[in-house]
Amino acid sequence: MKILHTADWHIGKVLHKHLLRDELLLFFDWLLDLLEKEQIDLLLVSGDIFDLSNPAVKDRQIYYQFLAKLIQLNIQIIITGGNHDAVGLLNAPQSILQELNITVIGGAKKIIEEELIAIKNKKGDIELIVAAVPFLRDKDLRSIDIDAQFNNRTEAIREGIKTHYATLADICELNYPKIPTIAMGHLFAKGAETSESERDIHIGNAASVDSSIFPDTYDYVALGHIHRPQIINKNNFIRYSGSPIALSFSEKKDNKSLILLTLENNKISTPQVIPIPKFRSLTKFTGSLKKVKDDLSKFKPDFPLKSFVEIEINESTFSAVTLASVDDLVTQYGEGESFTILKARTNFTEKAIDTAALFSEGEHIEDLKAIDVFNKMMEHQSVDEEHQSMLKQAFVEIMESVTQSED
Ligand SMILES: [Mn+2]
pLDDT tens digit sequence for 102-159: 999 999 999 999 999 999 988 899 999 999 999 999 888 866 666 667 767 788 888 8
Residue-level pLDDT at 363: 79
One-letter amino acid at 73 equals L
- Would you kindly state where each structural domain of the chain is located, as residue ranges? 2-275, 282-352, 357-407
Q: What separation in Å is there between the alpha carbon of 12 and the centre of ligand 1?
A: 12
Residue-level pLDDT at 18: 93
In CATH, what number does 2-275 get? Answer: 3.60.21.10
Q: What separation in Å is there between the alpha carbon of 224 and the centre of ligand 1?
A: 7
Q: What separation in Å is there between the alpha carbon of 218 and the centre of ligand 1?
A: 23
Residue-level pLDDT at 364: 78
Least confident of 117-126, 259-268, 288-297, 370-379: 370-379
Kindly indicate whether the domain formed by 282-352 is annotated with CATH number 1.20.1740: no
Q: What separation in Å is there between the alpha carbon of 10 and the centre of ligand 1?
A: 7
Q: What separation in Å is there between the alpha carbon of 37 and the centre of ligand 1?
A: 27
**Phi/psi-derived region of residue 244, left when phi > 0, alpha when psi is between -120 and 50, beta in every other case:** alpha
**For residue 55, is pLDDT > 60?**
yes
pLDDT tens digit sequence for 9-18: 999 999 999 9
H or E element at residue 398: helix 385-406
Q: What residues contact residue 355 under an 8 Å CB cut-off, 6+ apart?
A: 365
Q: What separation in Å is there between the alpha carbon of 345 and the centre of ligand 1?
A: 26
**For residue 336, is pLDDT > 90?**
no
Average pLDDT over residues 381-390: 84
Percentage of the chain modeled with pLDDT above 70: 93
Closest-CA residue to 243 (of 90, 35, 45)? 45
**For residue 260, is pLDDT > 80?**
yes
Q: What separation in Å is there between the alpha carbon of 65 and the centre of ligand 1?
A: 21
Average pLDDT, the chain: 91
| Interaxial angle between packed helices 370-380 and 385-406, expressed in degrees from 0 to 180 and rounded to the nearest 10 | 150
**For residue 406, is pLDDT > 70?**
no
Q: What separation in Å is there between the alpha carbon of 49 and the centre of ligand 1?
A: 8
Q: What separation in Å is there between the alpha carbon of 83 and the centre of ligand 1?
A: 7
**For residue 240, is pLDDT > 80?**
yes
Quick one: pLDDT band at residue 379, thresholds 50, 70, 90? confident
DSSP 29-89: HHHHHHHHHTT-SEEEEES--BSSSS--HHHHHHHHHHHHHHHHTT-EEEEE--TTS-HHH
Q: What separation in Å is there between the alpha carbon of 144 and the centre of ligand 1?
A: 29
Q: What separation in Å is there between the alpha carbon of 227 and the centre of ligand 1?
A: 6
Q: What separation in Å is there between the alpha carbon of 222 and the centre of ligand 1?
A: 14
Q: What separation in Å is there between the alpha carbon of 82 and the centre of ligand 1?
A: 7
Residue-level pLDDT at 154: 82
Q: What separation in Å is there between the alpha carbon of 133 and the centre of ligand 1?
A: 15
Q: What separation in Å is there between the alpha carbon of 92 and the centre of ligand 1?
A: 21
Residue-level pLDDT at 386: 82
Average pLDDT over residues 288-305: 94
3-state secondary structure of 264: strand
Average pLDDT over residues 177-202: 87
Q: Strand (E) positions, 52-206?
A: 76-80, 102-105, 116-120, 126-131, 181-186
Between 326 and 383, the higher pLDDT residue: 326
Percentage of the chain modeled with pLDDT above 90: 69
Q: pTM of the entire structure? A: 0.84
**For residue 401, is pLDDT > 80?**
yes
Q: What separation in Å is there between the alpha carbon of 248 and the centre of ligand 1?
A: 11
Q: What separation in Å is there between the alpha carbon of 247 and the centre of ligand 1?
A: 9
Q: What separation in Å is there between the alpha carbon of 273 and the centre of ligand 1?
A: 19
Q: What separation in Å is there between the alpha carbon of 87 and the centre of ligand 1?
A: 15
Torsion of CA 7, 8, 12, 18, to 10 degrees: -130
Residue-level pLDDT at 195: 83
Residue-level pLDDT at 370: 86
